[in-house]
Structure 1
Amino acid sequence: MEEQRRIADFLDVKTAHIDKLHAFRGQQLRDLEERELAIIADMLSGGATSEDGRPTGWPWLPHIPQDWSIGPVYAYFYTELGKMLNPDRSRGSNQRPYLRNANIHWYEIDTSDVATMHFDPDEVKRYSLSPGDLLVCEGGAGVAEAAIWDGRIAECFFQKSLHRVQRSGKVPVEWLMYWLRFAKSCGVFEAGGNIATIPHLTGEQLRQYRIPIPNNGETLIRRTEQTIKAMAKVRMALNQAQELLAERRQALITAAVTGQFDVASASGRGVVE
């Protein structure tokens, strides 16, 4: 009983310290996201205010410059959903790598785990990716998350859980990516306002959304993109730090209760602090 009390007291002290660090990193992440979204909002609004801008009718982005317009996504971009999975995907001679929801995060594409499936010859052109394509998650917790394909895999395709968006007019795909980022933070894609419902962003919904159309989208993106990308790298590092803290917390608990750690002297036997 005494030994159990010592273990509990030891873990209380150690885990409290880890929890404090975890909370601090969490606040850093929230502050970083708030700053990132403020920068994106300023770009998407062109810095317009109620005094010098035109109203949009959106409470989350109320004004844009007088000489900007508002238009549907379909008027400025081509969109298409990827290939539907089928039971025979693991068979067939034309196996090709493809991206899915799990590979796409804000501004980033993770290709550490890329699956393959068969693509018929007539599907290759339709579902192949080109550098500069914007990939948008169609559903799930990551709905609307988007990143731009950089061509790191020579022949790569995409599955139906993703939209491929390509530029068809004057508006760059980066503009839509940042609009999606800000719109999601404002709850635009929540299913009927019910966050308990897993939302979906269908092809028709994506095409019909109305977005601000700038006269100088390329210039605005160049001004802010490096800052936003730098923030994304910091966010990744902070998230990795949070994961390490969680692993360290669990390792401490396991080591203490299994006797790998001498709680009386707070020294470990084969356990690195």
Structure 2
Amino acid sequence: MENIKPYTKYKPSGVSWLGEIPEHWEIRKLKSLFKSPESLFVDGDWIESNDINGSDVKYITTGNIREGKYKEKGSGQITFETFKRLNCTEALENDILISRLNMPIGRCCLAPKFDKPLIVSVDVVICRLDIEYNRKYFVYLMNSKRYQESTALESRGATMKRVSRTILGNFFLSIPSTDEQTTIADFLDYKTAKIDRFIRKKKQLIQLLNEQKAGIINQAVTKGLDASAKMKPSGIEWLGDIPEHWKIVKLRYLSRITTGNKNTEDKVENGLYDFFVRSQKIAKINSYSFDGEGILTAGDGVGVGKVFHYINGKCDYHQRVYLFYNFSKLIHAKFLFYFLQKFLKNELMIYNAKSTVDSVRLPVLKDFLVLVPEFNEQKAIVEHIEKETEKLNKAIATIEKEIALVQEYRTALIAEAVTGKIDVRDYKVPVLEEDDLVYEDVEEEMDMVAEDGEGMEME
């Protein structure tokens, strides 16, 4: 891996997931790293939902814990009175927080600094190591792939897997000296920061390419391909002016609309047919209830107005997924697909008082207004869209592969470092420059990628 060499001498660790370790490293159980009175290794607190109603103490759960990172997501708060009444345990900044629930089981992160006391849910372990240990090293170690594979094997539960604190405490870990722990942590901080910056830039590039695609589709399905065409007011605020000869037709006159009769649990790994649920990800199933040309979209959930699929063949679909099919002679199915994909959410927002759309009713769909050019013009518009977006789609696919490869490299690098497969003691960690990425940098690369389908290499 790079030019970093392995250690000169190894010994068997006696631990299957660790394999051989450097000769001077030790093996210890996690529970043995808490000898001082200031150390801590306890489960969080059981907090009832009706107690989460204050503003004095922050309360976080397993959902806030990602692999090596804290994520602000739906965290609640309680009062000081509840904190005292329940005799809660306060988690401190830089405590290791370990999730016992949900995959990957055993993932952990350092507790960030908050402007108020912090408590965690009962499925989170507060891990306050003795002062001589480098906590960042152990966060990297307990987020390594083989460690998490081992914790998953020890998890229990029919529907929701979890691992006990007792089992976690009995896990054997690889322990270099304190100085070496710090060296490994600093090396991984530098390397993963560069990798994460690279991934952010690539994801920003994908976002810009998708915006370019959206612009192509928007222009084509609302203004057509003839720049000299006479325009008229559409009467629809979010459409503006449209070509004078285009019609506006309710969706009920352009296709039939129905829903499926399957549940998410009906999916089958490696099934014979596509199974459309309320996600952009397509599942598989061994049955089909539709065979033909259709458009599918989520009827509720976070995918409403965002998830759209075009199908021409056999498939099955969820009971809360809408299928548009049996199209009239007025409409080209793919033109309708692009139009719905671009504009349906605008209409749904009008009929939903919430700030986010989470459901769509059939009458609203049936009354949705669609722009309808002449059929041959629709066909030309579809061909234009597919031609102009093909290069962008290829570029996006290339970038996604690059991201996947770099993520694999990141995973492997962490595993090699924390299990002693590479010796980083002589690696000189440079000062990582502040990530001051500007829009023009990504825009320039976007033009290059769209032109030749190649991405830039990671610096």
**Normalised TM-score (structure 2):** 0.46
Residue aligned with 1:149, SS: strand
Aligned match of 1:21: 198
Q: Any conservation in 1 of the 2:217–2:338 contact (CA below 8 Å)?
A: yes
1:99 aligns with 2:275: yes
Q: 1:146 aligned to 287, 308, 313, which one?
A: 308
What's the CA shift for 1:21?
1.3
Distance (Å, rounded) in 1 between the aligned partners of 2:401 and 2:361: 32
Sort the Cα spacing of 1:250 and 1:225 in 2 relative to 1 into closer, same or farther, 3 A: same
1:27-38 aligned within 5 A: 27-38=204-215
1:50-69 aligned within 5 A: 52-69=230-247
1:164 aligns with 2:323: yes
Aligned match of 2:285: 115
Alignment length, in residue pairs? 239
Aligned amino acid, residue 221 of structure 1? V
What's the CA shift for 1:23?
1.9
Residue aligned with 2:343, SS: helix
Q: Any conservation in 2 of the 1:53–1:64 contact (CA below 8 Å)?
A: yes
Q: Any conservation in 1 of the 2:279–2:298 contact (CA below 8 Å)?
A: no
Q: Any conservation in 1 of the 2:187–2:424 contact (CA below 8 Å)?
A: yes
Aligned match of 2:385: 224
Sort the Cα spacing of 1:263 and 1:86 in 2 relative to 1 into closer, same or farther, 3 A: closer
Query: Greater helix percent: which structure?
Result: 1
Residue aligned with 1:133, SS: strand
Identity of counterpart residues, as a percentage? 23
For residues 148-191 of structure 1, what are the alpha-carbon distances to aligned partners after superposition, in whole Å with 9 as ceiling and x for unaligned? 2232xxx543332322212123111111211122226x755455
- Aligned alpha-carbon RMSD (Å): 3.2
Q: 1:45 aligned to 192, 206, 222, which one?
A: 222
Aligned match of 2:336: 176
Q: Any conservation in 2 of the 1:138–1:200 contact (CA below 8 Å)?
A: yes
What's the CA shift for 1:192?
3.4
Distance (Å, rounded) in 2 between the aligned partners of 1:232 and 1:86: 29
Distance (Å, rounded) in 1 between the aligned partners of 2:218 and 2:338: 9
Distance (Å, rounded) in 2 between the aligned partners of 1:218 and 1:21: 40
- Computing the radius of gyration from Cα coordinates, the structure with the larger value is 2
Aligned match of 1:269: none
Aligned match of 1:270: none
What's the CA shift for 1:74?
0.8
Q: Give the gaps of 5 or more residues in structure 1.
A: 118-123, 267-273
Distance (Å, rounded) in 2 between the aligned partners of 1:86 and 1:255: 38
Q: Any conservation in 1 of the 2:259–2:318 contact (CA below 8 Å)?
A: yes
Residue aligned with 2:214, SS: helix
Aligned match of 1:241: 402
Aligned match of 2:359: 200
Distance (Å, rounded) in 2 between the aligned partners of 1:86 and 1:59: 37
Q: Any conservation in 2 of the 1:82–1:158 contact (CA below 8 Å)?
A: yes
Sort the Cα spacing of 1:252 and 1:189 in 2 relative to 1 into closer, same or farther, 3 A: farther
Q: Any conservation in 2 of the 1:99–1:156 contact (CA below 8 Å)?
A: yes
What's the CA shift for 1:7?
1.4
Distance (Å, rounded) in 1 between the aligned partners of 2:238 and 2:406: 35
Residue aligned with 2:330, SS: coil
Aligned match of 2:74: none
Aligned amino acid, residue 234 of structure 2? T
What's the CA shift for 1:39?
0.4
Distance (Å, rounded) in 1 between the aligned partners of 2:235 and 2:217: 18
Q: Any conservation in 2 of the 1:165–1:173 contact (CA below 8 Å)?
A: no
Sort the Cα spacing of 1:116 and 1:213 in 2 relative to 1 into closer, same or farther, 3 A: same
Higher relative contact order, structure no. (Cα contacts within 8 Å, ≥ 6 residues apart): 1
For residues 62-95 of structure 1, what are the alpha-carbon distances to aligned partners after superposition, in whole Å with 9 as ceiling and x for unaligned? 22111112221111111111124499x79xxxx9
Q: Give the gaps of 5 or more residues in structure 2.
A: 1-177, 428-459
Distance (Å, rounded) in 2 between the aligned partners of 1:165 and 1:74: 10
**Normalised TM-score (structure 1):** 0.73
What's the CA shift for 1:103?
7.0
For residues 217-255 of structure 1, what are the alpha-carbon distances to aligned partners after superposition, in whole Å with 9 as ceiling and x for unaligned? 112112222222443343233234333333433332333
Q: Any conservation in 2 of the 1:187–1:193 contact (CA below 8 Å)?
A: no
Aligned amino acid, residue 330 of structure 2? K
Sort the Cα spacing of 1:260 and 1:237 in 2 relative to 1 into closer, same or farther, 3 A: same
1:263 aligns with 2:424: yes
Aligned amino acid, residue 420 of structure 2? G
Distance (Å, rounded) in 1 between the aligned partners of 2:233 and 2:382: 22
